[in-house]
Amino acid sequence: MLYSLEYFALFVAIISFFSIHIWRINRNSPIPNFPPLGMIPAILFNLSNIHEYITSALKHHGGTFKLRGPLFTNINFFLTSDPMNVHHITSKNFVNYGKGSEFHEIFESLGDGIFNSDSQNWKYQRNLLQSLFKQNIFENFVRKVIHKKLDDYLLPLLNEVSKSRTSVDLQDIFQRFTFDSICSIVLAFDPNCLPNKLSQFREVAVEKAFNKSEVAIFYRHLVPRWLWKLQRWLRIGHEKDTIFGQKILDQFFCDQIPSNREFNYTKDDDDESNFDMIKALVEKSGMKQVDYKFLRDTAVNLVSAGRDTISASLCWFFWLVSTHPNVETKILEEIREKFKTNEENWLISVVKDLDKLIYLHGALCEALRLFPPVPYQHKCAIKSDILPSGDRVDANTMVYYSVYSMGRMEQIWGNDCLEFKPERWISEKGMNIQVPSYKFMAFNAGPRSCLGKNISFIQLKMIAIALLWNFHFQVVEGQSVCPSVSIVLHMKHGLQVRVTKRSN
């Protein structure tokens, strides 16, 4: 009896000790740590609101904290929104921060393409793509593709929508549009996901496969490696979708770049109407024997890079503009003042002069600041290092930077950081203000900054002008507009809008 009482007292003492310990470490923390499970229960509990939750935790911790996962797992990394830390990782001490082997495993669908490469392999691909992207013929080809897709598909479709008076999901429309256009740009093949008639909408498996694999990749960041590998082995949960999606994607890219495809250079290749990116890659790389895996990996990376980023940017931009009528009016005034002629096909003449649209550029940057299509990025320290915030990063430790949170930091953008204000990007002299990329991180910073930034602004501006000039978009009331839980900042429930034709 005496022994039982002693054991009971000991048990109560141990429980009390741990409870007090857990209470002490979590007293002021917005993300409680429950050893041995770490902060993962809190993260999972707040998953539906993860970007805001992480933002408030970063604010609480002064911009940087260590996220602790369950004991004996690989989940233990730094999270930061401190621009000095980000500048250090992406530029100043760039050589010490790579993507790491874990990144390669999580993003295995990208193969050995540029996003998934480090050191010499990355450098080689970066130089190759950079030399291709900076050619005039490439930029002109992009303009041509977007112009044709607008004229033949998007504008006629929205015209029909405006007559039908029904609501449509603008996110679905933008995803189809950008998938068609990026495939046309990279593969010289248009999968025609976006019809020009409402009655012709159909599910496109390859387009849906991209979305599902992005969600699965997000979850791989949050669960221990052994768990998602087990799920993959058992073919359950999100991993089941990835296996299925991967097969569809592999088949799609194999069909477009078959191993028996021949590449002959002809004089017509200098003409932008005949531009073929895959052929240009073979030419530029000087391959003696065509490396089909390399070409497919490059194509997968570029299609992934250009599809969702552009469609997500468009969705948030149109939502913000539609809910801020004063911004919409100013954009239309700017287009009228700088461009409008009575010509039927006036859009063609303005595409070379897009830099004149100072206010529109500000509005797009503002949408990208508040809703960056890639909300998180991460790097892995090669050797141990001290961040400018004073935090010590051990070798092989991941550092995540939340681009979403950075767009909401008073220290960077001022007290009105949550407001949508295109004027923020315009100087007193009426020019666009250049914000250092380590503060405005939507396109990443340093040697690994986005290679598609220029063509992205070209596309976004062309689409914004054509759509806003011709139509007014009214967001359907009562729907919940919030970010999805994915590696790309889509809208969780899409964006239902009603469309009315403008009489300009």
Q: Which residues bind ligand HEM (CB under 6 A)?
A: 114-115, 126, 129, 302, 305-306, 309-310, 313, 373-374, 377, 442-444, 448, 450-452, 455-456
Q: CA-CA distance, 290 to 491, in Å (whole number)? A: 40
Residue nearest to ligand HEM (CB): 452
Instruction: Note whether 99 and 380 are within 8 A (CB).
Output: yes
Nearest approach, Cβ of 342 to ligand HEM (angstroms)? 32
Nearest approach, Cβ of 83 to ligand HEM (angstroms)? 15
Q: Which is nearer to ligand HEM, 114 or 217 (CB)?
A: 114
User: Which residue from 100, 95, 39, 112 is spatially nearest to 71, judged by alpha carbons?
Assistant: 39
HEC string of 411-463 equals HHHCCCCCCCCHHHHECCCCCECCCCCCCCCCCCCHHHCCCCHHHHHHHHHHH
Beta strands, E only, 298-414: 376-381, 385-386, 392-393, 398-402
Q: Which helix (H) or strand (E) holds 76?
A: strand 76-80
Nearest approach, Cβ of 185 to ligand HEM (angstroms)? 7
HEC string of 198-228 equals HHHCCCCHHHHHHHHHHHHHHHHHHCCHHHH
Q: Which is nearer to ligand HEM, 39 or 174 (CB)?
A: 174
Q: Which is nearer to ligand HEM, 455 or 491 (CB)?
A: 455
Q: Which is nearer to ligand HEM, 104 or 492 (CB)?
A: 104
Q: CA-CA distance, 186 to 278, in Å (whole number)? A: 7
Nearest approach, Cβ of 243 to ligand HEM (angstroms)? 23
Q: Which is nearer to ligand HEM, 161 or 187 (CB)?
A: 187
Q: Which is nearer to ligand HEM, 85 or 309 (CB)?
A: 309
Nearest approach, Cβ of 130 to ligand HEM (angstroms)? 9
Q: Which is nearer to ligand HEM, 33 or 177 (CB)?
A: 177
Q: Residues with Cβ < 8 Å from 268, sequence gap 6 or more?
A: 274
Q: CA-CA distance, 216 to 219, in Å (whole number)? A: 5
User: Which residue from 442, 444, 445, 441 is spatially nearest to 460, judged by alpha carbons?
Assistant: 442
Nearest approach, Cβ of 135 to ligand HEM (angstroms)? 14
Q: Which is nearer to ligand HEM, 187 or 393 (CB)?
A: 187
Alpha-carbon dihedral 248, 198, 312, 152, rounded to 10 degrees = 90
Q: Which is nearer to ligand HEM, 242 or 456 (CB)?
A: 456
Beta bridge partners of 377: 401
Q: Residues with Cβ < 8 Å from 221, sequence gap 6 or more?
A: 106
Nearest approach, Cβ of 405 to ligand HEM (angstroms)? 15
Q: CA-CA distance, 424 to 363, in Å (whole number)? A: 9
Nearest approach, Cβ of 483 to ligand HEM (angstroms)? 14
Nearest approach, Cβ of 450 to ligand HEM (angstroms)? 3
Q: Which is nearer to ligand HEM, 444 or 484 (CB)?
A: 444
Q: CA-CA distance, 33 to 39, in Å (whole number)? A: 5
Q: Which is nearer to ligand HEM, 194 or 460 (CB)?
A: 460
Residue 17 in 3-state DSSP? helix
Nearest approach, Cβ of 47 to ligand HEM (angstroms)? 22
Instruction: Note whether 144 and 273 are within 8 A (CB).
Output: yes
Nearest approach, Cβ of 442 to ligand HEM (angstroms)? 5
Question: Which tokens go with 459?
Answer: 């596309």
Q: Which is nearer to ligand HEM, 184 or 309 (CB)?
A: 309
Nearest approach, Cβ of 143 to ligand HEM (angstroms)? 13
CA 50 to chain centre: 16
Question: Which tokens go with 218?
Answer: 């997000």
